[in-house]
Every structure is written in C-alpha cells, then in structure tokens.
Chains A and B, each alone.
Chain A
Amino acid sequence: MATIELENLVKRYDDGFEAVKSIDLSIADGEFIILVGPSGCGKSTALRMIAGLEDITEGELKIDDEVVNEKAPKDRDIAMVFQNYALYPHMTVRDNMGFALKLAKTDESEIKRKVEEAADVLDLTDHLDRKPANLSGGQRQRVAMGRAIVREPKAFLMDEPLSNLDAKLRVQMRTEVARIQSRLGVTTVYVTHDQTEAMTLGDRVAVMRAGELQQVGTPAELYNDPLNLFVAGFIGSPAMNFFPATLEGDTVKLPIGEVPLPDSLRAAVRERSSSGDGDGDGDGDGKSSELIAGLRPEDFEDAAIVDRQRHSGGLEFDVPIEVVESMGSEIYAYFNYEGEGATSDALNELAADAGAEDLPGAGGGGRGTARLDPASKVKEGETYKLWLDAKRLHLFEPGSGASLTHGAERETATA
C-alpha cells in the first residue's frame, strides 16, 4: 500500500507526439482513482508509465515518496490487470496466480495458501488446475484479478479490465472489483473509457482529454460542477444537453426561451466573464456574449407536474416531442427545438468518440433529452410543455470550453 505521485509527467514519442502532456496527480494511500477519457486521450499511456512499461520522458513519478522513474517494472512492486488479461496459457490457474510469488522465491506452502485464499475470494477454487484456454471470459478476468491480489502489492493498476466482458457480466464484475478493492484497501489506479464505471467505482475520477487532465474530483463533483464543456459532456448518461446561449445582462437567451440568470450563479458568472466581456469592468453591462448553456436531462420536468414553489425558478417552454422512452422509473423525452445546436471543439470530439450516439444538441440539429417523472403524460409527436430548472444551468465559454458557473453555490440537486 502506498501513495503514488505524478509530477509533471510527460510522455513524448520519438516522432514528437505527446501522448501525455504534463500530468500532475497525487493519489492517496488506499485510494481508488479512475483515469477516464475517450480513446487516445493518453490514459493507458499514463498507467503504463506508472507500471514502468513506458519510459517517462519528463517529470517525476513517486511511489511512497520514492522517485521510481528509472526502476524496472519488477522493482516497483505493483500489480497490473491487463485489458486482455494476458494470462500465461501454458500454466494452470494456480501457476498463473502464483507466478509472481514463485519469482519472489516465496515458499511453496506460503504460495499455496495465498493462491487458495485468493481463489476463494474470487470463486475460482474449482478451477485452480485448469488452463486458461478452458475458462470462460469472466473466469479469465477473475484469474487476472487473482494474479494481482496474491501479490499484496503496493498498488493495483487496471487497464480497462472489464471492457472485454459482455454487458451483464461487466456489471457483476464491477461490483466485484469495488468489493475486493475496499476489502483489501490497496491503492488502485483504474483506466476506463466508460463513464459509468468511472462514476460507480472511483473515490476520485480524473478526466483526461488529449493527454491533459481536465478535472479531478469525486464523481459527484464532476457531475454537479464540471470545470469545462468536455467534462460536462463526458460525464453523465444520457449526456448533458447543450444549447447555444446569449448572455444579455442578467438574462440567458436560449433557443427555447429566455431564462433569468439565477442569483446563485450571478456572482460566479460575473467574475469569470469579466475578462471576456470586452470592457474589463466585469459588470456584464448590457453587452451580450455568446455562450453555451448546459442542462442535464433531469433538470427538465413535465411542466404540469412541477409544484408551484419551484416553478418560479425556471422556465416553461413548448417543444415538439420526437421520441418518448419509458423506463418505468422514469421517462426520457427527446425533443426538437428551432435553430442550430451548440458547437465547439470539445463537443465535436465527444460526439466523434461516442460514434453513432451523437450527443443531443451537440452540432447538427437542435435536439435535447429530458428525464421526466413517470407520471408525465408526454406523448410522441405532440408539442408538449416542459419546464427547466434555471438553478441547474451551466454556462460555458465556447472557445476555451471553460465553465462560467463552476464553483457557484448551488442548491442541492432537485429532480
């Protein structure tokens, strides 16, 4: 068990490409930290630098306050779970799990005890004498975990360990990983591109984009108070809705209507837009500025259901409902609005990474997703009155993607 510190870590390849651009991250003893980001963002490279499988171009990596930049993987006392498991095919499950101990010249009886203990935890006892080829995907994954556990290393490094499992098994193993980690209390760095895994597993989540850390925080912090457009769009499923917005004085003009800027956000927005509103006095004096507004699906509600008290803090608007998906516990309504959707580099990148599942409202058409109460009478193909909660509004500067509302004191989540 150990602390891990990344200080200005840089990975530059011979051709000049920077896979990781100066990462600063300090991981506490026993912490479960998730590196998350779209493919190619450098998260795996960062993990492999911690493991010692990639050279560090610049910066320092400290494990337990000791600089380990030049140490070989075997001297770092870390265990790694690979995306494709990397089990030794010529060894039985028992030998696979005991291999590291054997190399460390642990006594036979001790190896046997530890392997059997780990097998018990992972429910592999019946399979100890089988070869990996005869195991199912889930079992192989557990053997890979077992190989890490028996070592009792300073840290676990996991590189998308669940990505090869089918959806149902993945959910089961996700719980399993969380259980094992909290039971052993070993510092864990976990790489994934799946924001659900990131949200459910981590003590803290570090979002990466193009080799840079975007934001590090607890899942709730990232969800409720994203630092920029990228984090806002990446975290959360279904994703946040983005609208082109114009800020005029204290009014935010959205394609679906005008919302007064809530008091709770005003100070934060004023302070940040001071540099951007042109005259530098920071008063947002009637000059309008183009922004991107973000609202999570649950920040919408069926206008007929919202109670009177909350009503005042928001906006009612009529939109044509395109598709309604009823989940039982909630209803997703996909609506259209007039005009173009919001565009920015960060949003385009997210849309590209998500593939077919374009982010609602990102580029192209004006579309949005609302999560409504199951009691809602919303119907497909009709124009329906929805309500949005202005207090939950996020505002972003379109060029840099920086949030203007970050750090604002908000009321506790509504919806």
Chain B
Amino acid sequence: MSGRKDVPKWVALNTVVLIAALFPVFWILMLSLKTPADVLDGRLIPSKFSFDNYTTIFEQNVFTKALINSLGIAVIATLIAIVLAAMAAYAIARLDFPGKGLILGAALAIAMFPPISIVGPLFNMWRSLNLFDTWPGLIIPYLTFALPLAIYVMSAFFREIPWELEQAAQVDGATPAVAFRKVMLPLAAPAVFTTAILVFIFCWNDFVFAVSLTSTSRAQTVPAAISQFPGASQFQSPVGSIAAAAVIVTIPIVIIVLIFQRRIVAGLTSGAVKG
C-alpha cells in the first residue's frame, strides 16, 4: 500500500475532474432557474429563482410529445438491438461459420461510418418509402449504428463464459436454446445491461438523424425539438426553455444508470469453474 500519504493528492485531483465535468451541468441548471427576463444578465447564480421555464416547456405540446417520441424510439431500438445482438454475439463467440470474419469486419466498418454522410440519401429514401417523420424512420438508422456496438460488447463477454458451462447444461438435458436462455443469458446479464445503457444513450442523444429525418411532433425527438424551440414571445430568446429542457432530458439517463449500475457487477461468473 503506497498508502495514506496519497489520499489528499487523489482528493484534490478528483475534485478538479468533478468540477470540470459538472460545472456545465450546474450552469445549465442555474440558467434554467432564471426568469426569462434575467437569462442574459451574465450572472451564474440567478438573482431570483423561478420555475417559469419548466412550466413553459410542459405547457407546450411540442416538448411533451417529443419526450414521448424520444422515450418510445429509444426503448424500442434498444430492445430490438439487444435481442438481435445477443443472438449474433452468441453465434460469433461460439460457432464457427463461414463469413464470421466478414460479419465482424462489416460491423466494425459500420460503427466507424460517419452518420452525417448517410443522412442525405436516407432523407430521400425515407420520403419515397413513407418512413420520413415516423418512429421506424428513426429506429432503423439507430439500429444500424447500435448493433455493431452491441455485438462487439456482447461477443467479447460471451467469449469469457466458459464453454463447459454450456456443455454441462447440454449433458444435463438442455437443448442449445434452453442452455442459452437458462445458463448463458443470466451470466451475461451484466453485459446485456451495459450494452442496453450504451445503446439507449446513443439513441436518446442522437441529434443528426433526429433533426434531418423528422419534421413534426409525430416523430421529433427531444434534441431535435429543443433546437426548434420558439421563445415565449417573438422578442424573447428561448435560452431559458432550452436549458430547462436540457435538464429534463438528462434525468432519464441518470435514473437508468442508477438502476442498472447495481446489476453491472463484475465477477458474476466467479465460482463457475476452478482456475
């Protein structure tokens, strides 16, 4: 143990990092609590605290609709991605099939593809396919980018699970499907939750697709909606409302991470096999 001497040093370092990371959040929070008139007064702490900005955005149909769209689209995309990726990752980790390298390579290539470069063609395609400004219109591109990520994370995890566990299950009378469900999946739960969080955050935060492939509150998600916030009046800047909306959208992420954090524990497989 290099010991107690280092403790003050670490505390100082951690404090610096925490302040750097959280200061913008604090700033946004303060901004959202100012009255519309005070928004541009240049002070960090509001002279008068008010929840006007919050009431304003919830009075607007635009924001609540966007919140529902965001939640729905992100949850559906996450569920589909997890189910497909779990199966694909299992196959990649366990089976030897022709084209395995190709699949992994393609997945990696897609993950590296800049989203902005496909937005233009997608916009045209979606309009002719009637997918423009619909939920599936966003879910599909989200899946293409979320799947490679999910497959990579999960296949790495599946590979860590000893083969013998599955073979033991098979000898115990399980079909491969039952062995996957009853033995592999429970053990892979941390990987599933980690992947789910990553995919959810990706979908929740996306701006490029959301702003280009939607136009109305039918499918507009929060990031896109915020960018189009009008002020309370023509002469007022919407900065306060934007800040309030930004605070609201971070809440689900924080809640989700807090819930699943407990499930993402390492060492769940300890004790399965010796050595």
Q: Say whether A associates with B.
A: yes
**What residues of chain A have their CB less than 8 Å away from a CB belonging to chain B?**
51-53, 72-74, 78-80, 82-90, 99-100, 103-104, 131-135, 137, 140, 147, 151, 164
Known: A86-B162, A88-B165. A53 touches B170 (CB 8 A): yes
- Alpha-carbon distance A279/B29, docked complex (angstroms): 105
Q: Please name all residues of chain B whose beta carbon is closer than 8 Å to the beta carbon of A86 when the two chains form the complex.
A: 162, 164-165, 167-168, 272-273
Instruction: Tell me, in angstroms, the Cα distance from A133 to B273 when the chains sit together.
Output: 9
> Can you show 14 pairs from A to B with CB atoms below 8 A apart?
A53-B170, A53-B171, A74-B175, A84-B273, A84-B275, A85-B273, A86-B162, A86-B167, A86-B272, A87-B271, A99-B169, A103-B178, A133-B270, A134-B271
Interface residue? B136 (CB, 8 A): no
Across chains A and B, which 9 residue pairs bring their CB atoms closest together, nearest first? A133-B271, A86-B164, A84-B273, A100-B172, A132-B271, A89-B272, A86-B168, A74-B173, A103-B173
The bracket for how many chain B residues form the interface is 20 to 34
- Nearest CB to that of A80 among chain B residues? B171
When the two chains form their complex, are residues A79 and B171 in contact, meaning their CB atoms are under 8 A apart? yes
Beyond A74-B173, A74-B175, A100-B172, whether A88 also contacts B272 by CB under 8 A is: yes
Within the assembled complex, what's the spacing in Å between the Cα atoms of A126 and B174? 28
Q: From residue B271, how far is it (CB to closest CB) to chain A in Å?
A: 3
B170 touches A74 (CB 8 A): yes
* Chain B residues whose CB sits within 8 angstroms of the CB of A103 once the complex forms: 172-174, 178
Contacting residues, chain A, for B187 (C-beta < 8 A): 89-90
CB contact list, B204-249 vs A, under 8 A: none
Q: How long is the Cα–Cα vector from A131 to B186 in the complex, in angstroms?
A: 14
Chain A residues, Cβ within 8 Å of B175: 72, 74
Contact B171 A89 (CB under 8 A): no
B154-191: CB near A (< 8 Å → 1, else 0) gives 00000000101101111111110010001100110000
Sample of 15 more A-B contacts, CB < 8 Å, known A84-B162, A135-B271: A72-B170, A72-B175, A74-B171, A78-B171, A85-B273, A85-B274, A86-B162, A86-B165, A86-B273, A89-B271, A90-B187, A90-B268, A132-B272, A134-B271, A137-B274
Asked if B269 is at the interface (CB within 8 A of a chain A CB), the reply is yes
Q: Looking at A51, A78, A90, A103, which has the most chain B CB atoms within 10 Å of its CB?
A: A90
Residues of chain A within 8 A (CB-CB) of B273 are 82, 84-87
From residue A137, how far is it (CB to closest CB) to chain B in Å? Answer: 6
Q: How far is the CB of B127 from chain A (nearest CB, A)?
A: 48
B-chain residues with CB within 8 Å of residue A87 when the two chains form the complex: 168, 271-273
Interface centre among B173, B182, B186, B275, by most A CB within 10 Å? Answer: B173
For A78, what are the chain B residues with a Cβ–Cβ distance below 8 Å?
171
From A73, A88, A137, contact of B167 by CB (8 A): A73
| Contact assessment for B271 and A147 in the assembled complex, using a CB-CB cutoff below 8 Å | no
The minimal Cβ–Cβ distance linking A37 to chain B, given in whole angstroms, is 21
Within 8 Å CB of A137, what residues of B?
274
**In this complex, what residue of A is CB-closest to B172?**
A100
Known contacts A86-B165, A88-B183, A164-B275: does B270 contact A51 (CB below 8 Å)? no
A-chain residues with CB within 8 Å of residue B272 when the two chains form the complex: 85-89, 132
On whether A82 and B173 interact (CB within 8 A), knowing A90-B186, A103-B178, A140-B274, the answer reads no
Contact of B164 among A82, A131, A140, A164 (CB under 8 A): A82
Contacts of A131 in B (CB 8 A): 271
Report A-chain residues with C-beta under 8 Å of the C-beta of B183.
Answer: 88
The CA-CA distance from A40 to B115 in the complex, in Å, is 51
With CB as the reference atom, state the residue of chain A lying closest to B271.
A133
Give min CB distance, A315 to chain B, whole Å.
Answer: 49
Q: Contact partner of B168 among A82, A104, A134, A135, CB < 8 A? A: A82
A90 — which chain B residues lie within 8 A by C-beta?
186-187, 268
Task: Give CA–CA (A74, B167) in the complex, Å.
Answer: 10
A53 touches B167 (CB 8 A): yes
Which B residues are in CB contact (< 8 Å) with A51? 167, 171
- Specify which of A52, A78, A80, A135 lies most central, judged by the most chain B CB atoms within 10 Å of its CB: A80
What is the CA–CA distance of A134 and B168 in the complex, to the nearest angstrom? Answer: 20
B187 to chain A, nearest CB (A): 6
B contact residues around A140 at 8 Å (CB): 271, 274
Nearest chain B CB to A89's CB is how many angstroms away? 4
CB-nearest residue of chain A relative to B174? A103
Least Cβ–Cβ distance between B274 and chain A, in angstroms: 5
Binary contact readout B257-275 vs A (1 if CB under 8 angstroms, 0 otherwise): 0000000000011111111
Find out whether the CB atom of A80 lies under 8 angstroms from the CB atom of B168.
yes
- In the complex the two chains form, is A164's CB within 8 Å of B274's CB? yes
The docked-state distance in angstroms from the alpha carbon of A87 to that of B183 is: 10
Shortest distance between the CB of A232 and any CB in chain B (Å): 33
- When C-beta atoms are compared, the residue in chain A nearest to B186 turns out to be A90
CA distance A133 to B274 in the complex (A): 10
Closest residue to B187 on the A side, CB-wise? A90
Contact with A along B59-100 (1 / 0, CB 8 A): 000000000000000000000000000000000000000000
Inter-chain CA distance A51–B173, complex, in Å, is 11
| Inter-chain contacts of B171 with A (CB < 8 A) | 51-53, 73-74, 78-80
| Alpha-carbon distance A52/B275, docked complex (angstroms) | 25
**Known interface pairs A82-B164, A82-B168, A86-B165. Does A104 touch B173 (Cβ–Cβ under 8 Å)?**
yes
Please give the distance in Å from A51's CB to the nearest CB on chain B: 6
Chain A residue with Cβ nearest B185: A90
B174 contacts across to A, CB distance below 8 A: 74, 103
B172:A147 contact, CB within 8 angstroms: yes
Q: Which residues of the other chain, A, contact B172 by a CB distance below 8 angstroms?
A: 74, 79, 99-100, 103, 147, 151
A89 closest partner in B (C-beta): B272
Task: Compute how far the CA of A360 lies from the CA of B178 in the bound complex, rounded to whole angstroms.
Answer: 53
A87 to B, closest residue via Cβ: B272
Interface centre among A88, A99, A140, A147 (most CB of B within 10 A): A88
Contacts of B167 in A (CB 8 A): 51, 53, 73, 80, 82, 86
Instruction: Specify which chain B residues have a CB less than 8 angstroms from the CB of A85 in the assembled complex.
Output: 272-274
Instruction: List, in ascending order, chain A residues with CB within 8 A of B173's CB.
Output: 74, 100, 103-104
Q: How far is the CA of A72 from the CA of B173 in the complex (A)?
A: 9
